[in-house]
Structure 1
C-alpha cells in the first residue's frame, strides 16, 4: 500500500445567479466537499450494528453492517492495526485509501460513506453489493455472452481511464475486487478495494511488486512500471471472462509469474471458436509490452464496442426529467447546496439513483466517467438545432461546472438531476439533521456544519459558516435547530 498524500481538489460552489428577495449576499466562497466521506465523532459500534463476515484478505475483513439511524444495509471493511508495521501506521498509511476515494467520483466505483478509527481497527463503510464478486461469473455453467462481456469491459475501461486521469493507479484489478451491484441479469460493476492504489507523480515510475500474480503485468514483476499495469490486468480479466481460463498458468505463483514474463498466450482453441475477431484484436492490444499497450481511453474507442455492445436504454420519461432538471438547475444559497450534496451522498440510496445513472452513461459519449461540454452538445443536438444545442450545452456547463474544471463530475450531475423536492423532503432533512447532531443536543453549530461539509476547516472559515447560518436562518448565535433547519431548506429558493 502506498503512503503518499495529496490535496483533494473539490469544486467551489459559486452563487452566480440572482438572490431571492430578502436573501443577504453571502460573504465569501466556501469549499464544499463534492464527494462526502464522513468521519463521525462517535465510534463505529455506536453508529452501526455489525453483521456477518462476507470476505477476508491479508490485512482486513469485510462484514455486513446496518446503519442505525437510516436502517440502510452497508458493508464495512475492517483493517486490524496489529497486522501493520508501526512505521506504516504512524505515517498515516491506512488513510491512503480514504484520500484516494475522496479524489474519485465515478458511477462504477463502490460508494464509500464514512471511516472510523479506534486503538485496534480502522473501518471503512461502503455500499453493500448484492450481486457479489465478478469472480463468480468466470467459468460458470451459464457462460457470459460476448455482448455481456463487452458491457462489463466498457464499464471497467471507463473506471480505469477515469482514475488514471486523476493520477491514480489501482495496481490490483482482478475479478475479486470487482463487485456487481445487484442480483439479476444486468451487471452493473462497482470497483472496490483501493488498498494497493497509489497517487502518481508525473514522470516518476512506480516501483515494488504488488497485486495478484494471474493479473500482474510483466513490468510489475520486474518492479518498475507505470499506471498501464491496470490496462494489462484489464486485458487478463477480459480474456478470462470470454474463455473461463487465465491466459497465463502455472502450478505455483512463481511459475505463473514466469509465464506472465514470456507474454505468450493463445487465442486459438475451442474456447475462442465463438469469440469475435474484434475481441481478439483488443486483447492483443492490451497483453503486449508496456510501450505498445493502448490506454483505457483508447480501448473505449475500439471497434469491438461499436460492433458488440448492446446497452439498455433508459426510460423516456427519465431522460426527459433529467434533461429538464439539467436545463433548469441553478445554484441556490450555499448552505442549501451543501445539505443537498450531503443528503445525496449519505442518505439517498444507490438504488434510487439508478435510472438517473443510466442517463449519465448515455450523455457520457466517450465513456470517460465525466460529462464535457462536447458530451452535452452531442446529446442535446439529437433533438435540437445545432446552434441551440451548443448554446444550451454552454449554459449547463456554466451552471454545473462551478470549479471551471472543464467537465461535470458524477456527484455534480446527481445534484442537478435529482428533483430537489425529493432530496429536500422533510424526512431526508430530519435524517440529515440527526446525522449532523450525533450528540442529540437539538441544534447544529457552525463548527459542526463546517466539519461535515467543508474541506477548508480553518478558524476564519468558522466565522464564514456562522455568517451563512445567520443570513439563512436569522440565528444570531450561529446555531440552528431542527425546525429552523427544515424551514430554511424546504422553503428558501
Structure 2
C-alpha cells in the first residue's frame, strides 16, 4: 500500500507461514492485476516513517514477496490464486514470468514464455512529437515506461512545461495491453472540466513509444506529503484532502468512469505550496461503466482493493472503498488491512475489520470514525457514494455546492417501476428519515431544478444530466438511464415522493439507529400502506417461486394477514441478484 505502518490482522495466511524478519526480507506491495501503466501505479512504496522496533511493524517496501516456509504440506486456498490468469491474459506470459522471478507474484509458478503474437500497435496518434516537444529529465519510472519533464517548442503551449508519459510499445505484448493504452487516452480526452483532474494535452506515437502529454504537477505525491507529516494528517487537514478526493471521484462516477486504482501515489499537488490543489492522475486501470453494469476483471493495488473486486463483481463502489482506506491512513497513519504477503492482504480485506480502538483513534472525532466506517463497509450497497460522503456530518458545509449523484437516478428508476405496494412501503420509510439524511436529498432535488409548483418531471432529470455531461458520459452511455425512466413522462414527483424514491434501504441499514428508523417507518406503513396480502401475492411481488412460500409465511401476521415488522423490512430489500448484468470483461 502506501507509506505508513500497519498492524497485522490475524489471518490464516500469517498463521500458516513462518515469515522471515522484515529487516531481512521486506514484504511486498503488489497489484492484483495490472494494465499498461507505470509500475509506481502498481507497486506502492509505502516505507514506514516510524523506526523499527517498539512494537511497530515496518511497512512493506518496494521489494519482492519473501519466501515462505509452510509448517504444513499445503497452504490454505489463496484468494489470490485466480489473479495469475488475469495477469497472463493482460500482460502476456513473458511479463508474468518476469514478475514471478522478481517475486511479485505469490505462490504458484507460470508456464514458460510463449511466442509473442503479431499485434497491431498503431494507434492513429500524431507522429510529430519530436517536432513539438523537447524531452527533459525523467520524473517517474514504471514497468511499461516512464514519465518525463518536457517543454513545448511551438503551438498553443509554446515554452510551457508539461509532463509526458512515455509507454514502450515493446512492453505491449497482448491485445489487452494495447487496448488499455487506447482506453487510457480516450478517458483522458473525454473527461474534462474538473479542477482536481489532471489536464490532458495530446497523444503521439512513433515506432517505439506512445507519448501522452499532460499538465505538469510539481508539488509531489500525496504519499510524500503524508510521510513529511510523520505518517498522518491532523483531522482538519485530512478533511481538506478527502474533500478534494471525493469531489473529483464524484465527477468521474457521474460521467460513468471508474478509476480502479485510487491511492496516495495517484494524487499529485500542483505546486509545493501547503495549500496547493491536488490532481487525480493515472487512468491506466480506469474504464467506462454503464449505470447497471458490473465489472469482473481484477485490477488495482493490493492494499486498496475492495472485497467485491476480489469476488469479481463490482462497480464504482470499489473506488469508495479505496477512498476509505486513504481516509483511514490520513487519520491514523496505519493501514486498515495489512499482512506480509499479497494473499494475506486479500484475506484481511475479505475477512478482517479495521481497528478503531488503538491510538490515535480514541482522540479522533466520532464523526470522522463514522465517516471511515461507512466507506469501509464490506457490503458495497451499504457504502456512501462520493456525493453522499460530501454531505456526511464530518464534512458537511452548507456553503459548499454538492454535485449531482447518479445513484439518485438508479433509485428513482427502480421506484417508478416498482409495484404500488412497494412504493407505499418506501413512502413510509421516507417519513421515518432523520434530519441527517435530508441535506443530501434536498441538494439532489434542487439540482433537478423543480418547476414552479415544486415538482420534477422526466425532463428535469434529463436536463440535469445533460448540464453535467462530458464526452465520457456519452461514451459510457449514462444518458441511457433516462429511457428507463420513461414512466415519469406521464407524471410528476414532489419532494416528499422524491425522498421515497431516492432513499437507499441498504445504506440506512448500516446506521446504528436503523432499528429505530425501521420501527418508526413500520408505524407509518401500518397507518397508510399495509394491507392484507397472501403468500402467493407476496412471492409474485418479490419475483419468487413456490419454494420461498415457507419463508414468506413468517413475514405475514396470522391475526390479520398483513406484513409484520420482519416482513416489512425484508420486503423493502426486494430480491436483487448478486451480479446484475455482469460484464465478462476482456
The reply to whether TM is greater than 0.5 is yes
Work out the CA distance in 1 between the residues paired with 2:257 and 2:239.
24
Q: Distance in 1 between the 2:264 and 2:464 partners?
A: 36
1:131/1:179 contact within 8 Å kept: yes
| 1:253 positional shift | 1.7
* Equivalent of 1:257 in 337, 341, 346: 346
CA gap 1:179/1:228 in 2 versus in 1, 3 angstroms: same
Number of aligned residue pairs: give it.
303
Q: Quote the Cα distance in structure 1 between the aligned partners of 2:446 and 2:276.
A: 26
1:158 partner SS:
helix
Q: State the 1:201 CA deviation.
A: 3.1
**2: distance between equivalents of 1:204 and 1:41?**
34
**Alignment partner, residue 205 of structure 2:** 117
Contact in 2 for aligned 1:2/1:198 (Cα 8 Å): no
Distance 1:141 1:298, change over 3 A: closer
Q: State the Cα distance separating 1:406 from its structure 2 match.
A: 4.2
Structure 1 pair 368/135, CA: closer, same or farther in 2 (3 Å)?
farther
Q: Is the 8 A contact 1:108 1:191 kept in 2?
A: yes
C-alpha separation in 2, matches of 1:306 and 1:197: 29
| 1:238-253 → structure 2 map (5 Å cutoff) | 238-253=327-342
Contact 2:200–2:215 (Cα < 8 Å) also in 1: yes
Instruction: Give the 3-state SS of the residue equivalent to 1:124 in structure 2.
Output: strand
Aligned to 1:196: 285
Tell me by how many angstroms 1:103 deviates: 2.1
Q: Tell me the CA shift for residue 174 of structure 1.
A: 0.6
Which among 20, 37, 43 is matched to residue 128 of structure 2?
Answer: 43
Worse-matched range after superposition: 133-142 or 100-109: 133-142
Structure 2 residue aligned with 1:349 = none
**Counterpart for residue 422 of structure 1:** none
Q: 1:116 touches 1:123 (CA, 8 Å); kept in 2? A: yes
Q: Structure 1 residues 262, 378: closer, same or farther in 2, change over 3 A? A: closer
Q: 1:138 aligns with which of 195, 201, 226?
A: 226
Q: Which residue of 2 aligns with 1:358?
A: none
Aligned ranges 1:177-326 → 2 under 5 Å: 177-289=266-378, 290-306=380-396
Cα separation, 2, equivalents of 1:224 and 1:406? 29
Quick one: distance in 2 between partners of 1:274 and 1:139? 21
Q: Which of structures 1 and 2 has the larger relative contact order (alpha carbons within 8 angstroms, sep 6+)?
A: 1
Q: Check the 8 A contact 2:191/2:470 in 1, yes or no.
A: no
Structure number with bigger Rg: 2
Unaligned runs of 5+ in 2: 1-33, 37-123, 407-441, 453-462, 472-586
442, 467, 472: which one pairs with 1:407? 467
Bigger shift: residues 180-189 or 135-144: 135-144
Q: Secondary structure at the match of 2:159?
A: coil
Question: What is aligned with 2:29?
Answer: none
Structure 1 residue 204: Cα displacement: 2.8
CA contact (8 A) 1:218 1:263 kept: no
Distance 2:241 2:224 in 1: 14
Change (3 A) 1:250 1:404: closer
Q: Is the 8 A contact 1:174 1:215 kept in 2?
A: yes
* 1:107 equivalenced with 2:192 (yes/no): no
Give yes or no for the alignment of 1:366 onto 2:453. no
Residue 210 of structure 1 aligns to a residue in which SS?
coil
Q: Secondary structure, in 3 states, of the residue corresponding to 1:190?
A: strand
Where 2:268 maps in the other structure, the secondary structure is strand
Q: Distance in 2 between matches of 1:44 and 1:369?
A: 39
Aligned to 1:6: none
Q: How far 1:129 sits from its partner (Å)?
A: 0.7
1:145 shift after superposition: 2.1
Change (3 A) 1:235 1:187: farther
Contact 1:216 1:232 in 2 (8 A): yes
Aligned partners of 1:263 and 1:287 also within 8 Å: no
Quote the RMSD (CA, aligned, Å): 3.6
Q: 1:66 aligns with which of 147, 151, 158?
A: 151
> In the alignment, is the contact (CA less than 8 A) between 2:252 and 2:258 conserved in 1?
yes
1:191-241 C-alpha deviation (Å, 9 max, x unpaired): 000000011134331112211101011111222211110000000001111
Q: How does 1:296-445 map to 2 (within 5 A)?
A: 296-306=386-396, 365-367=401-403, 406-407=466-467
Report Cα offsets for 1:48-95 as digits up to 9, x if no partner.
Answer: 111111112222211111111211111111111111224236x64421
Cα distance between partner residues in 2 of 1:45 and 1:271: 52
- State TM-score, norm by structure 2: 0.47
SS of the residue corresponding to residue 224 of structure 1 reads: coil
Does the CA contact (< 8 Å) of 1:300 and 1:367 recur in 2? no
Aligned partners of 2:222 and 2:265 also within 8 Å = yes
CA gap 1:41/1:2 in 2 versus in 1, 3 angstroms: closer
Distance 1:404 1:148, change over 3 A: closer
* Contact kept? 1:2, 1:96, Cα under 8 Å: no
1:149 is displaced (CA, Å) by: 1.1
Whether the 8 Å contact between 2:125 and 2:205 is mirrored in structure 1 is no
Deviant stretches of 4+, over 4 Å? 39-42, 367-370, 403-406, 408-411
Q: Report if aligned partners of 1:236, 1:246 keep a CA contact under 8 Å in 2.
A: yes
